[in-house]
Structure 1
């Protein structure tokens, strides 16, 4: 291998290592939220776990539900289910969010009220 090829190879390896590592790093104090319109569903964007407790909160004035998902290399797991009703307008859970895993939530409005899900990787 010539010197020029070696330099290019080392440079490409360094770039791929940096890009790959940055995609797995947690963003401190990251949060996301989304609102599902009445009788509809939606989902949040992914947020990275930060080896600390985070929080997921569902709010609606009517019947709604949500599911928090944990996506780690090679597996996806259902973490917690949340629900609201006309008499219970908020449901909230603290969950430990592992670094190296991403988290997102699905939200479903099952009534004439919209439903909002809030997700954050800090407490």
Structure 2
């Protein structure tokens, strides 16, 4: 499975790369798409290249969700872990987004 991973910038190598940490490994990341990186900031990284900058809150939530998915795949996830990792989904009321509400209204007419 190929997905982007949140990584924290550890150090800046040059104008086009930075050393980043995923929590599991450290690697040099190409930062040409996102520009000069700053140690301590978070980047969303896919196949060795930064795709966009992230807030720390967003990065940590994504990291928690990715760990939970890994545990699901290995069969070790607990319900409590899943509830914590996907609280934004499990707490959702199931309401349609506005653009779909409008489409339903049009279809009823």
Q: Taking structure 2 as the reference length, what is the TM-score of the superposition?
A: 0.20
Structure number having the greater strand percentage: 1
Structure number having the greater helix percentage: 2
- Indicate the structure whose relative CO is greater, using CA pairs within 8 Å and at least 6 residues apart: 1
Q: Taking structure 1 as the reference length, what is the TM-score of the superposition?
A: 0.19
Greater Rg over alpha carbons, structure: 1
